[in-house]
Amino acid sequence: MQSIVIYYSYSGNTKQVARVLAELLAQKGEVEEIELKCLDEPRSFFAQCKRAFRRVRGKIQEATLDLSGYDLVCLGTPVWALSPAPAINTCLDQAVGLGGKRAVLFTTYGSGTGNQRCINYMQEFLSKKGATAFSRFSIQQAKVKDKEFIVAEVNKALRLWPNG
């Protein structure tokens, strides 16, 4: 199975989860990992919230977002103002080759406010681009260092496709 894990992480939590996901997928085949960087991210919390809430598309580095060669596409973001981070919005726009794909959507979050809204938005977007099967999981920020917990959550999410 060929998988790709694409994620954005401002302070490292989502990255930590993405790493565990990639590690587990590596047991099922080849995995590529892309960490998106946002080149125009403001540093202020309020500016970040405003952009995310308005669904701004962040400026990202060159990335190959033709996903046609993968069996499984994984996309992860921190929840920002009930929404994906701006780099992920850009990725949603630019991704191609999603017809008939399986996708794992994952988030990390603080209070949990807007987590479902955020992940629903990503799912709707990828559905419109032709992805057909979704699995989702979310990790609260206090749990990101608990590898055992993350492994269990990832395994639950991947159980939907036991044969890879």
Ligand X SMILES: Cc1cc2nc3c(=O)[nH]c(=O)nc-3n(C[C@H](O)[C@H](O)[C@H](O)COP(=O)(O)O)c2cc1C
Q: What is the DSSP string of 118-137?
A: HHHHHHHHHHHTT--EEEEE
Angle, CA 151 vertex, CA 81 and CA 97 arms, to 5°: 65
* Of the residues 4, 5, 14, 135, which one makes contact with ligand X according to CB under 6 A: 14
Nearest to 6, CA basis, from 81, 97, 82: 97
Least gap, CB of 60 to ligand X (angstroms): 15
106 binds ligand X (CB under 6 A): no
Size of the site for ligand X (CB under 6 A): 24
Least gap, CB of 31 to ligand X (angstroms): 19
Report the site for ligand X in 22-51 (rule: CB under 6 A): 45, 48-49
Decide if 118 contacts 79 (C-beta within 8 A): yes
Residues that bind ligand X (CB under 6 A): 9-15, 45, 48-49, 78-82, 108-115, 141
